[in-house]
Amino acid sequence: SGCWLPWNFLTAAGTEVRQVSIEEAAEWLVTVLKEEPEDIRDNVDGKQMGRPLAVDSAVRWMTSFESSRSKYGPATPFVVASEDRFLSHCCVRFGETQLYPDEVVSAWGVVYTIPQERQKGWAKACVRAATDFALKQPGIKRVVLLVADRNLEARKFYESLGFTPSSHTLLNNDIPMTFWTAQLGIGNEPES
């Protein structure tokens, strides 16, 4: 699992992980995801940002999310950036889910790296920063995410970061998904 890195760290010369506004993240995501095939877009957002993709629907989705099983507040987006160019993204939000009814949990998602920058560690840096940020929030003991069952690459990726699949599954816009979790006490405590 490894240690979680501080969220304001340099990943390589001139490249850093930083927090950005929902509007900045939504605009970038919509622009880059429009270039991807439909199955990639669906794996990234589970169709939650609407179809066709539009900045206003992405902003709405990132501002609040409520379903029959959970309710989350606004997303806190993180990007890996090289100067003013975004390379990778993920976001984290806090709320309640029926899976863990007695605790506030952190959920994150929309992990995406532009094709020409993949396999360079940017998504890992972004996810580690978001998870570190989440686990440092008062009362947060667990990070929850949904992974499309058909997305074997994502499943390997999250496992390499210390996440484990749960027995909880659902259909998200007709896409079979499994909840994965990471929690304090399994070797991923945030650095002080």
pLDDT tens digits, one per residue of 53-75: 888 888 888 888 888 888 888 99
Determine what percent of the chain is predicted with pLDDT higher than 70.
88
Query: What's the pLDDT score for residue 116?
Result: 93
Mean pLDDT, residues 126-139 taken together: 88
Strand, coil or helix: 77: strand
Cα separation of 165 and 75, whole Å?
23
- Per-residue pLDDT tens digits for 150-170: 889 889 998 998 899 989 888
- What confidence tier does 187 reach under pLDDT thresholds 50, 70, 90? very low
Query: What's the pLDDT score for residue 185?
Result: 53
Select the more confidently predicted residue: 6 or 24. Answer: 24
β-strands 142-148, 105-113 pairing: parallel
Res 14 pLDDT > 60: yes
- What confidence tier does 2 reach under pLDDT thresholds 50, 70, 90? very low
Cα separation of 87 and 113, whole Å?
6
Cα separation of 44 and 29, whole Å?
10
**Percent helix, strand and coil across the chain, each rounded to 5?**
30, 35, 35
Q: Is the pTM of this model over 0.75?
A: yes
- Angle (CA) 101 102 107, round 5°: 65
- Per-residue pLDDT tens digits for 73-124: 899 999 999 988 999 999 999 988 888 888 888 887 788 999 999 989 999 9
Mean pLDDT, residues 14-33 taken together: 91
